[in-house]
Structures are given as C-alpha cells and as structure tokens.
Structure 1
Amino acid sequence: MLPVASERKVFHENFLDHFKKNKVRIAMAVTKLFPFPEVLRDHSFITEKLYNETCDGSLPEALFGRVHLKEYPDLTQIYRSFENGK
C-alpha cells in the first residue's frame, strides 16, 4: 500500500491530467462569472492576491472580448452599458 502522501500525489496528478483534458468543457459550462472565482478563492485554489488581480482591467477585457460577445450575445448590452458609463 502506498503511503498517504504518495497516494495524494498520484490522485493530484491524475486529477490534473483529467482537468487538462476537460478544461475547455469546464470553461464552456461556466456561463456566469459569479460565484466561480469566489469558490476557487474560498477553497484556496487561487490566492486572494490572484483573485484581486482579476479586477485589474484584464477581467473586463477577457469577459467582453470578441469571442465572448459572439458566443454570449446578452453580454453586448452589458458591455455597452460599461462603455456609456451607465
């Protein structure tokens, strides 16, 4: 029987491999930003610093990028409200 640390390492390696193979499907399944990053932060999968840095301007760029506006047409109106400051 493997020691607990070795079992954990094997589990994490298998999980990471499975995650890599399914990351696009996972991203497509997350159709709302809230509460996804909050859960990642709350479970320490991302740091508080990384969580806070997603609000530095890169989040709006990623959220309202051309691909997302095409895939999620409802974002267009929200994007325009940001542009208009309303």
Structure 2
Amino acid sequence: MRTGTFVSDPTVTSVSLDSVPATVEIQDCLDTTGYRLVDAKTKRVVPGSGGGRHLATATATRYHGRWLINYGAGHEDQPC
C-alpha cells in the first residue's frame, strides 16, 4: 500500500480555445519524496520504492462542455 503525501501543483502552460475541440496544455512537478510503498502487513517500506521529483505533462480537451484529460505522461528522466 502507499503512505505519505503525493504533492502536485499543476500549471496551464498553453491555451487554445479557438481550436476544435478547445485544448489546454498542463505541466506539473510531481513530488513523491514523502510518498512510500509499504508492505500492508509489516508496514515496512518496500526497498527501491523511494520517491523523487519529476516533470509531468498533460493535455485537456473540451468535449460536450466538460474538460477531459486525453493525454498524460510522467517524465521521470526530467527532474524539476
């Protein structure tokens, strides 16, 4: 199971409201330094499950009056 805090503070990096459908690009620095995978029975941290900080990007598109994430990627090779 996971314990701790997963920190996310997304920012809209571009907006295209004139496109059909309208889209926005989102960028985030995901911080999982305080988020750990632990054994549910023993509550011990699973070795190698340490967190870090890395870039994440997403695209949201407006369909039928609702914003939906239609693409998302974590870039663990790009720290932030």
TM-score range, shorter chain: under 0.3
| TM-score, length basis structure 1 | 0.20
| TM-score, length basis structure 2 | 0.21
Q: Which has the higher strand share?
A: 2
Q: Which has the higher helix share?
A: 1
Higher relative contact order (CA 8 A, sep 6+): 2
